[in-house]
Amino acid sequence: MSMSELLIENQGAVRILTMNRPEKHNALNTALTQALVDALWQAEHDAEVHAVVLTGAGKSFCAGADTSEFSALVPEDPQAVNARADLTTGLHLAFSRMSKPVVAAVRGNALGGGAGLAIACDLAVMAENVRFGYPELKHGIVAAVVMSNLVRQLGRKHAFELLAMGEPVNGARALALGLANRVEPDDRVLEAALEVAAKLASWSPIAMGTTKRLFHRVAELTLEEGLAAGRDTNVIMRGFRKAAK
């Protein structure tokens, strides 16, 4: 695996991960997918990193799975197909399992698996002229792994429309749907995402991490269970504050 598939740099306490296959619109082959999984967990375990920005080199964020690689995989080796599906699932799960916040800086194409990556991040800054969508049905395939996050983040009618119509939306529509937090001119997207990430990185890492963990827990719980989890965290955090004095 060439690490040049993914560029890694720090800006203060913010780790910047740049998918680096611009000639392929940063399509996700196995090497890039594995590099992303590894880099996210490296950031999670690095005490100097308090937030992460995920972006793409060239004109696009990520055009989804590298279909040329899949066509080589399928007839030959069912084990390899299974391993790749597990890897993709692990990548999309990593964002919610990490305690550190991840901000997507989304320009150009964010399609299929790339759209899934963008909304798997905690916050998303998108370009006005972004092409965000799920075109899988146009190619006779299914937006399978990325469906779960989309359905959780959108109402059923809007989620099904994105999946079933296969048409990409622009930044204004993504913002209206609640899939983007901010929309910026194309040349301002990364700068804006870094500003957001710097703000997130400025908080107490313990408080920020605990906020994110509790957020993902309560999203899946009943109100009573969520309040109980919040109550427990409230007690724990009071202990942290005393210890910090």
Cα gap 222→130, rounded to integer Å: 35
H helices within the chain, ranges in order?
A: 30-44, 67-73, 78-97, 113-120, 147-153, 156-165, 171-177, 189-201, 205-218, 223-244
Q: Judge whether 190 and 105 are in contact, CB under 8 Å.
A: yes
Q: Judge whether 12 and 198 are in contact, CB under 8 Å.
A: yes
Residue 136 bears catalytic tag = yes
Determine the length of the chain.
Answer: 245
Cα gap 67→76, rounded to integer Å: 15
Residue of 5, 44, 136, 191 marked active site: 136
Inter-CA distances, 65 with 27, 30, 51, 62, 222, Å: 5, 9, 26, 9, 35
Q: Judge whether 24 and 61 are in contact, CB under 8 Å.
A: no
**Active site amino acids:** 136
